[in-house]
Each structure stands twice: as C-alpha cells, then as structure tokens.
Chains A and B, each alone.
Chain A
Amino acid sequence: MEIDHSQPLEYSTEQNRLNILGFWIFLGAEIMLFATLFASYFTLVDRTGNGPTGAEIFEITPVLAETFLLLTSSFVIGLGIHAMRLGNKKAMLTFFIITLLLGLGFLGFEITEFITYYREGATLQTSGFTSMLFTTLGTHGAHVTLGLFWGLFIILQVKKRGLTPETANKSFIFSLYWHFLDIVWIFIFTFIYMKGMT
C-alpha cells in the first residue's frame, strides 16, 4: 500500500479514495431509496381508510426530542472527525461514543413513539397511510440501528488498531453515513411531521 502523506489519513491510499467515492455514490442510491419512500408517502398520506390521520396521532414533544438528539449527534460526529484529523485518538473515540449514545436515545424515543401510535390504533396494517408512515420511519430507524452496530465496530477497531489509513477511512465513511441519516431526518421532520400536524 502506498501511503500519500500529503493527504489526510482517510484519503491517503488509492483504495481509500476509491472507498470514499464509492460510498458517495452509494449515498446517491440511498437518496433515490428515500425519495421513492417520500413520493409514495405523499401519494398515500390522505388515504387513511378507517384509521387515524397524521394530525390525530402526531405529537410534537417526542419528535422534537428525536430531532434534537439526532442533529446533535451529527454535530458531535463532525467533532469526532475533526479530532481524528488532528490525530487525537482519545478525543475522537469520546466523540464517537457520544454520537452513538445520542443515536441510541433517538431510537429509544422513536420506539416509544411507535408504541404510542400502536396503542392509539395506528398499526402497520391499519391503512395505506399508516403502512407508509411506519415503513418510511422504519427504514430510517433501521438505518440508525445498523449505524449503531457499525459505529460500535469502528470504535472497537480504532481502539485496538489505532488511527491507520484503514480505520480512519472507515470512520470517515461512517461519518458520511451518519450525516446522511441526519439530512433524511430533516426531511422527515419537515414533510411528515410539520406538514402532517398543520
């Protein structure tokens, strides 16, 4: 492996550069995935059948808490990558752990939110609207869940192997993924919750 020291660690080998570009392209595919979910959501949003509408079940408090947690976590992982660039492994790991804890908090709120909906009679099978709502939120939630495991593996690897071109590359790519989930959430917050509550 040739290491180019004029570049940041995560860009320092040819394979690293390929990985980062490949992941950006993958995020392009992910945008299409969520775009399809949103388009389907807009199609089905008023088709509530005998079930509740969005305005009837959405509550602002847990949604705001989720938004706050996820947006903060995105900021913190940015700090983590900054620490990684400075070569401060300990600070980086701390920031990554805080990121994951915030993500875990987000997931906790989302699960309680789902349980509340379920109790109020909005289940996966109730109507076209609820099926689509749970699928869109669930796809995002599943991404966060996967991200928690992925992030944990990366923390373990950085802890054990230190900051090498490989681990730096993985951490950087994970941060791209995490920021992406944050952006998706902003769309969910705006177009599902805010629009649905008015």
Chain B
Amino acid sequence: MGFFSRFLIPNPSPVIYSSMVAIGVTVLLIIFGLTHFKKWFYLWSGWLTTVDHKRIGIMYLISALLMLFRGGVDAVMMRAQLAVPDNKLLDSQHYNEIFSTHGVVMILFMAMPYIMALMNFVVPLQIGARDVAFPRLNAISFWLFFMGAMLFNISFVIGGSPDAGWSSYFPLAGNEFSPHVGTNYYMIGIQIAGIGTLMTGINFLTTILKMRAPGMTLMKMPMFTWSALVTSIIIIFAFPVLTVALIMGTMDRLFATKFFTMTDGGMDMLWANLFWVWGHPEVYILILPAFGLFSEIIPTFSRRNLYGYRSMVASMVFISIYSFFVWTHHFFTMGQAAYVNSIFSITTMVIAIPTGIKIFNWLFTMWKGRIRFTVPMLYSIGFIPLFTIGGVTGVMLAMSAADYQYHNTMFLVAHFHNVIIPGVVFAVLGAGTYYWPKMFGFMLNERIGKWAFWFLTIGFCLAFFPMYITGLDGQARRIYTYSESSGFGPLNMISFIGAALMAISFVLIVYTIYYSIRHAPRDVVGDDPWDARSLEWATHNPVPEYNFAIIPQVNSRETFWDAKYKGHELFKGDYEKIHMPNNSGGPFIMSCIFFVFGFALVFSIWFLAIIGLIGIFVCMAHRSFEIDHGHYISVEEIKATEAKFGGVNKWK
C-alpha cells in the first residue's frame, strides 16, 4: 500500500472524483466502440503508424481541440470562482492548480499543436512537396507531443496537478514549497513534448529550404510558408534553452541539486531568466504562424494580392531576431538595475514597429478589395482591431517604471489574452474553417460558424476588457478570491458572463463540425471553393496521398491565381511513379515508452525509469539498423486516383 499511496490526489474534491469516473467511462467507451466496429486495425494502420504529413496534421488538430476543451473548462471554473466576492466554489489550492494547468495546456498543448496542425497540413502543399523532409521524424514529433500532453493531463487524477503557475518560478516550484509530484509532471511532460517540437522545427526548416517546387524562390513563397520558416528557426534556437531549464528544474526536484535553491549557492532568478529566454520567443512561435494564416486568408477574401510582401517578410525576420532580446520585461520588478530595465523597455517597444507594419499591410490589402464576409474573413477582420488593443496595452506594460503598477495584476492577464485570443485563437479557428475542405473534402456550415464567431468575439470583449479596469484598480492575478469591499464584484461578474459566452461559442464550433459532417454536401465543393491564390488549392480535395500527381511549376508569388486567370501552365509533363515513405509503428511505440519513462520519473520509480530509458535506446538502435527504402506508387495507381477526382486540374 505504501507504494501505491503516492498515486493518491493530495487535495481531492468531488469535481476530481467525477472527472476520474468520466475519464474511466470514456476510455471504456472508446475501447468498446473500437472493438464493436472492428476499427482497431484501421486505427493502427491508418493513423497510429502513419507518416503522412496530412494525417499527422489532422491528429494534431484533434489533440488541439481536445486540449482546448480541457483548458476551456479550467478557464470557466476560474471565472466562476471569481464571479462573486468571497466565493467558496474552489479552495485556494484547487484554484492554484487550475490556473497553472490552464496556462500550460492552452499555450503548449492547445495553441502549439493547432499551429503545428496547420503547418503540417499546409506547408508541404504550399511549396508543392510530397511530404516533409523527414516523415518518420514528423511522426515522432507528433507522438512525443501527444504523450507529453497526456502525461501532463493525467496529473489531476493521479498524484496531483502542478500548482506553481505556468511559469513555475523557483523557489515556489522547489520541493520545499511544492512537495507533491505536480511540478514533476510539469517538468517532464513539457520536456517530452518540447523534444517533439524541436524536431518539428528542424524538419520544417529543412523541408522549406530544400523541397520547394521548381521556380519557387524564397521570395516567391506564400506568406504562411515564410512564417513557418521563421518560426522553425525560432524553435531551433529557443527550445534547447527550455530543455536545459527543465533538466535543471527536474534535477533540483528529483536529485536535490542546487541550481535554483535559496541555499548553497543556488540562484532562483536563473530559472526566471532561462524560462523567459525561451518563453518570449515562444510567444512569437505562436503568433508568427498566426500572422501567416491571416496573410493567406485576407488576400483570398479581398480578391487582392497581399500588400507589401517584402515588408511582411522583413518585419517577420526582424521580430524573430528581436524576440530573443526582450525577455526581461516579464520580470521588471524582480530586482535588476534600472539601466537593464530601460534597455529591455526600449527593445520591447521597438517590437511594436514591425507588428504595426504588418497591421497596416493587412489593412491596405483589404483597401478597395471586394471583401467577402465568410467565417475565416470575419475572424481576420475581428483580429485587427482587437489585436491592436492588445498591442497598445503591451506597449503600456513595456514601460518598466509604469510596470510596477501593472505587474502581476489582472491588467497583465487582460493584455496577454488580448493578444493571444484574437491573435492565435482567431487565426487557427479561421484557418481551420478555411482549410477544412482541403482536409476533409466538405465545407463547414457558414451560418453556425458565424454564430460561433460572434459569441466568441463578444464573449471575449466582455470577459477581458473589465480586467483592464480591475487590474488598474489593483486586483492581483492568481488570487483565488477577493472581498466585497474591494468593489471588484460587478466587473468580475461581467467577465464570467463573457467566459460563458466563449464556452457557448466552443460548443457551437463543435456543433458546426458535427452538423457539417452529417449534412454538408460532399460533391459540389470543387477543388477551389474559396477562389484562393496559393498552391495548396491546386490539388484535389481531400488531398490524395501523394499531394500532387505532377510537381507544379511556379512562376510568381501567386502561381495558382496566375494558372487560373493568366494562363500559366502549372502542371507540365506526364505522370511518373512516385516515391513515398513507408508507415511505421516505431514512433508510436517509442513515444509510449517515453510516456512510461516520464511517468516513472514523476513518481521516482527508478527501476521502471531505467527500463524505460533502455527501451528508448533499443528503439533508436532498432531504427538505426532498419532498412527502409519506402515504396513507389505506380503510374496506373496515380491514373486511377486522378480519374476519380476528374483528372489533373488544368485551370483554364
């Protein structure tokens, strides 16, 4: 019993017990369903072993939606707790756990995979490639992310959730103040997912640099591909910092090392610095692809080419470099010299300039355009004013002297939600709708989608704008309740109503998907439902396994538009046999072992950790000795598939 008592929850509540039951029932239902409908083999051969970038993208998308649900439930619980003064809905410990997991889940396990989903699905199509450079590595990336996310998520039913905030500052996150295993989950879950992300960065940088279709020079790449390129570079330089910080944090907790301790020469501020040296670029890892997605959507629905292509690229490159020189603005109040704060104030404010250039470029793209108010376009149009407000409050926060007032208040919470939600969440929801026919071959219902957009936007404004006011009035973040005399009550109630509207919009989004699966017509879409401009729309919907039967010839930034309206010949030559990579169970199996290894480390079960580590190395050794030359798709097969779609598009 002594062995098993470590798995108990330190602060149980009825909510957690009911979640345990719900998780158990769901798992049983899934197992039953798979067995009943005889889908085990399909699941294994079609999805778990796949190395196809499109299927991996879809799996990222499903994971992201699941995590959006989890993080959203956390958010609604927090707003419910704060809706009225002196509320007893959650106790302080439970509240600490919820805001910690909300942050981690939303940033790392919702926003990241959503971006990864779109990068995986879209980038190879946009550059006219048949897959990424390292398809097997891509599968490993996904499964490591997935297992890291799952490891983090089981914390609330086995052993207890992390409760030291998403930034997990030491010494609070050390053993002394966070004695239970929650923070171990944080350190190890994020580590596993982070390795996957690093591999994705390497994979996409190689893919974009080496696998573009003939004629596509760097300055002819679609803007989303540019953003994926820049993001990959940021990932490659930022994530190793997180890797080291997490290793040091893990060792402090498991092996009593003295990196971040208050005694024996440890330095707690080292964690804060390392965390934000990664953490700030991470923000741009999320927002730059979002900018790229808006740069695809806005020209399509304005029927104009993107304004200021070169300045768009230049500002992204500038942001990517600058993102590494602003990290101290996350802790202006934590004791650096005034001149250090001044330098970081200035670098932070300077970042507003390239971002502003991008905002104006989108506005000029829409200027005199024939705008169609589809769901993706609504998200893009909503993004511009709301994101600008978030940017302006960001410049306010950048002033280090004034930051002593804003720091750690609801003002800050309002600010970063104001850039992340209209920036990243609007982008992925809009692009999710935009690329849906590309992924699945049918459209999402526009009417329900518009309802969801309005609920989300109004809910967002109601939820976060009041926080600017309560924050300036001094309501601190991460405090589980407040007194009636503070006067924060009414504004927090408005925030709760806003959160509820956002929850409704999530339900509507799920309902759109359900409704469209049931009722959307499958055959009237055509391959180009939006009258789009870039290469991914030149192939069929849904995309065949090999993406393009014939590799396209690129002549300009908007090759597909030229092919449709200016007589450019996209597909020259005849079918040839196509080389494709083989599926493999290796990535999934190795990631499962990673999960076991991580779980063993969380609970310091050393024999299991050693077995897990050996297992991981055995998988790597097996991969080294494996001979895998992939396979060919014959010309007959290509002809048959293309005939099913009505032949290669000529677009004339």
Give A residues with C-beta under 8 Å from B. 1, 17-19, 21-22, 25-26, 28-30, 32-33, 36-37, 40, 43-44, 47-51, 124-132, 135, 149-150, 153-154, 156-157, 166, 170
Contacts and interface: CB of A to CB of B under 8 A. Distances in A.
Nearest to B242: A36
Nearest to B257: A131
5 contacts: A29-B236, A32-B241, A36-B274, A43-B267, A153-B621
B648 interface: no
Contacts of B627: 166
A125 B265 contact: no
B637 to A, nearest CB: 19
Contacts of A170: 624
A36 B278 CA distance: 11
A127 B265 contact: yes
Nearest to B132: A18
A48 B206 CA distance: 43
Interface in B236-271: 236-241, 243-245, 247-248, 251, 255-259, 261, 263-267, 270
B617 A149 contact: yes
A127 B243 contact: no
B244 A153 contact: no
Contact of A21 (B209, B239, B241): B209
B213 to A, nearest CB: 14
B518 interface: no
Contacts of B239: 29
Nearest to B239: A29
Contacts of B210: 17-18, 21
B134 A18 contact: yes
A21 B240 contact: no
A156 to B, nearest CB: 8
A134 B212 CA distance: 44
Contacts of B504: none
A37 B244 contact: yes
B82 interface: no
B255 A22 contact: no
Main secondary structure of the interface of B (DSSP, over half): helix
B463 interface: no
B625 A153 contact: yes
Contacts of B236: 25, 28-29, 32
B202 A44 contact: no
Main secondary structure of the interface of A (DSSP, over half): helix
A193 B243 CA distance: 25
Contacts, number: 115
A128 B629 contact: no
B270 A40 contact: yes
Contacts of B266: 44, 47, 127-128, 131
A75 to B, nearest CB: 25
Given A1-B629, A22-B202, A44-B259, 4 more contacts: A22-B133, A36-B241, A47-B267, A128-B258
Contacts of B257: 124-125, 131, 135
Interface in B623-642: 624-625, 627, 629
B202 A43 contact: no
A51 B240 CA distance: 29
A126 B205 contact: no
B198 interface: yes
B203 interface: yes
Contacts of A154: 624
A16 to B, nearest CB: 12
Contacts of A19: 134
A129 B264 CA distance: 9
Given A21-B209, A43-B270, A157-B625, A32 B258 contact: no
A18 B267 contact: no
A189 to B, nearest CB: 20
A93 B245 CA distance: 39
A40 B624 contact: no
Nearest to B628: A166
Given A32-B241, A49-B265, A128 B202 contact: no
Given A51-B265, A135-B247, A44 B255 contact: no
A37 B201 CA distance: 21
Given A29-B202, A32-B240, A135 B265 contact: no
A21 B251 contact: no
The 9 closest A-B pairs by CB, nearest first: A47-B265, A128-B265, A49-B264, A49-B265, A32-B240, A33-B240, A131-B257, A127-B265, A36-B244
Which one of A37, A48, A128 has the highest number of Cβ atoms from chain B below 10 Å of its Cβ?
Answer: A128
Nearest to A14: B210
Contacts of B624: 150, 153-154, 157, 170
Contacts of B261: 128
Contacts of B243: 33
A157 to B, nearest CB: 7
A154 B621 CA distance: 10
A44 to B, nearest CB: 6
A33 B257 CA distance: 19
Contact of B264 (A1, A26, A28, A51): A51
